[in-house]
Amino acid sequence: MNTNKNVKFTATPQLKNGTCTVYLNGEFDLSVAPDFRELMEPLVGDEKVNLAMNLKDLNYIDSTGIGILLSILKARHGMKASFLVEEVPDQIQKLFDMTGISKFFTVQ
């Protein structure tokens, strides 16, 4: 996914060994949410595949982005399907800790 809005955010899914890892890069905010939701819908709904978000190259996330991650977590939990978050940058982890959502994510 490339939003074409000066390429401030990309989400690149990669399937390997039964796990779909989505690599997030840039700034995840309200302006990219509709495109991201469209990309993620079929991935979230596929309970046969393990789903992971790699945040290594994520520079910024706003409340909309956090809400989307939580909605993915809730949907996957309801399907009893795996969802984990990988390589969370320190500044994003600090935000997750401050908002109290760290305890809900399986971080690797």
Residues 70-97 have pLDDT tens digits of 999 999 999 999 999 999 999 999 999 9
**Which residue ranges form the domains of the chain, and what is each CATH number?**
9-104 (3.30.750.24)
In contact, 58 and 92? CB cutoff 8 Å:
yes
Q: What is the pLDDT of residue 7?
A: 75
Q: Are strands 83-86 and 50-61 parallel, antiparallel or unpaired?
A: parallel
In contact, 8 and 35? CB cutoff 8 Å:
no
Reported as type and span, the H/E element at residue 39 is helix 33-44
Work out the average pLDDT over 11-32.
97
Q: Which amino acid is at 6?
A: N
Residues 41-57 have pLDDT tens digits of 999 999 999 999 999 99
In the predicted structure, residue 21 carries a pLDDT above the cut 60: yes
